[in-house]
Chain A
């Protein structure tokens, strides 16, 4: 039996707390509800006044139009490539670095690992102009490579930081025992650390996937052609032009947040762990 804090019990008993929570839940979820039901409303119902809070007819036209639209399917593909590529490279590179930081003692260890966390506090807009110039110079502008590289700038430090947490939870003795048994130090990473920490590693990769999937500013700046454009950029272009096809727009928005929602709900525990420990420890 969990003990309720007395003040929780107190205000719960008096009601305002319960009312507050219910209002917050409505405030937090009504917008999603409204997006999803609108995406299933036919145009005639969307522009009805008063609006219908429960859709009268189920309309799949918005989704059907998107899923047969080669352009939209292309944006989904581009987003998957960019987010997947970023997640793979970041996790791979970061696992080595996190192994180094968590299991070796060397000069600069603490300073460097903490500086990594601080990179999260740098404004994204600060590296925009120089990266733009560099990408143009090396003919990377408007390629997947430009998007993956720019996403890696912030993803690699975050991945290292998150994985240090997961690796440090593994007892040193396990690695030591393997070393005595003749395993190489690199072997310890692949045979002991990574298998044990696999859930944490997957959670890290997924976190990076989500942030690269949602990323707008780099994608907006470093691409121009439709064949490279990611979903967020495509959506931001839709939103700019005045359009009446709200069921299509909100269907596109729903499809964009679907992978994020699924990944998040599955790995929620690790997200919470990562964000609190990351911000609170030095």
Chain B
């Protein structure tokens, strides 16, 4: 970010940087920033696709959305899905990161391979899990009956509770590598001497993890949780493709609700109002994330 050479042209120095940004900024403003503000505007209108007339209706969309009984269900589902996924991802990611941390070349190869689920398209993951969970030929049913855990084959995705648990496990499976990588990065910043000192003082095993490692990883863990919260809360593909929000709305999350309100029920104004509410909720998380980065910058680097 330094510009040490004396500028040959003032234009080169003061105009060029902005000119270089122009194409990217035009695109971002047109297809990201403008639509966000347009959502806000649309949330105050009765948007009809069939007619040009779009009357201003003030807060009616918000009133309609907030009095919708389904909204509360959808919010509850979203929180269960997000927090459940995060818990599974944390446990798997934390465990693998700690064990593979500095365990040589083999460790880093395993770590690289374990990342594969994380990059896979959500739709492919949905296919795989549908097949594994299949009520008639699913390998999960087969294994569990053989192990004596269940008596008969279960329709996992057709029951409210087990459908949500299936989603959480599938998403935990997809997302844990991100936690693993972030925690590994956090571990790199910890000094070996701290462990040695703690070991001398008699810390070992779980006590070591609880009193030494977790406190030292506090900030990276908070940053990762915030990011994972935002991404998981808004993640559409996997839920849509695995359960479509069913059975009977038991796994319907906010993005699915917005999608269906807008493109199945064609209530675009209400979908916009819901989007605005979602954005407000996310802003809290984003604000927290920025705060955490500030703190982290001050302490670690």
Chain A interface residues toward B at CB < 8 A: 2-8, 10-12, 17, 20-21, 24-25, 27-29, 31-32, 34-35, 38, 46-47, 49-51, 93-94, 96-97, 99-106, 109, 112, 116, 118-119, 121-134, 136, 149-150, 152-154, 156-157, 160, 168, 172, 176, 179-180, 185-186, 210, 213-214, 216-217, 220-221, 231-232, 235-236, 239-240, 246, 249-250, 253, 256-257, 260-261, 264-265, 268, 271-272, 275-276, 279-282
- B69-77, B159-167, B235-243 - the one binding chain A: B235-243
A125 in contact with B259 (CB, 8 Å): yes
B31 in contact with A24 (CB, 8 Å): no
Mostly, the B contact residues are: helix
B136 nearest CB neighbor, chain A only: A47
B204 in contact with A104 (CB, 8 Å): no
Contacts of A99 in B (CB 8 A): 20
B223 in contact with A123 (CB, 8 Å): no
Interface residue B285 (Cβ < 8 Å from any Cβ of A): yes
Q: How many B residues touch the partner, as a band?
A: 35 or more
Interface residue B248 (Cβ < 8 Å from any Cβ of A): no
Interface residue B57 (Cβ < 8 Å from any Cβ of A): no
Min C-beta distance of B135 to chain A, whole Å? 12
The CA-CA distance from A49 to B137 in the complex, in Å, is: 7
Q: Given the known A-B contacts A17-B99, A217-B259, A260-B119, are A239 and B241 also in contact in the complex, defined by CB atoms under 8 Å?
A: yes
Min C-beta distance of B51 to chain A, whole Å? 13
The CA-CA distance from A136 to B275 in the complex, in Å, is: 20
The CA-CA distance from A52 to B241 in the complex, in Å, is: 26
A6 in contact with B28 (CB, 8 Å): no
Q: What are 22 contact pairs spanning A and B, CB under 8 A?
A: A5-B101, A7-B209, A10-B205, A11-B99, A51-B137, A93-B23, A94-B24, A97-B24, A123-B233, A124-B255, A126-B278, A134-B38, A179-B8, A186-B16, A220-B240, A239-B123, A239-B241, A246-B137, A256-B121, A264-B115, A272-B115, A275-B181
The CA-CA distance from A37 to B105 in the complex, in Å, is: 29
A276 in contact with B181 (CB, 8 Å): yes
The one of A17, A31, A136, A221 in contact with B128, judged by C-beta atoms closer than 8 angstroms, is A31
Q: Closest 9 A-B residue pairs measured CB to CB?
A: A214-B121, A130-B38, A100-B20, A127-B35, A104-B17, A97-B24, A130-B35, A123-B234, A253-B127
B169 nearest CB neighbor, chain A only: A27
B282 nearest CB neighbor, chain A only: A123
The CA-CA distance from A276 to B34 in the complex, in Å, is: 29
For window 118-175 of chain B, which residues contact chain A by CB distance below 8 Å?
A: 119-132, 136-137, 139, 142, 146, 173
Interface residue B217 (Cβ < 8 Å from any Cβ of A): no
B25 in contact with A129 (CB, 8 Å): no
**Digit string of B72-102 for contact with A (CB within 8 Å is 1, else 0)?**
0000000000000000000010011011111
Min C-beta distance of A155 to chain B, whole Å? 9
The one of A153, A235, A249 in contact with B31, judged by C-beta atoms closer than 8 angstroms, is A153
Min C-beta distance of B81 to chain A, whole Å? 14
B236 nearest CB neighbor, chain A only: A217
Contacts of A126 in B (CB 8 A): 35-36, 39, 275-276, 278-279
The one of A105, A214, A282 in contact with B123, judged by C-beta atoms closer than 8 angstroms, is A214
**Digit string of B26-59 for contact with A (CB within 8 Å is 1, else 0)?**
0110011011101100100001010000000000
The CA-CA distance from A72 to B32 in the complex, in Å, is: 31
B142 in contact with A51 (CB, 8 Å): yes
Contacts of B102 in A (CB 8 A): 2-5, 8
The CA-CA distance from A160 to B28 in the complex, in Å, is: 11
Contacts of A152 in B (CB 8 A): 27, 31
Q: Given the known A-B contacts A34-B132, A176-B5, are A239 and B32 also in contact in the complex, defined by CB atoms under 8 Å?
A: no
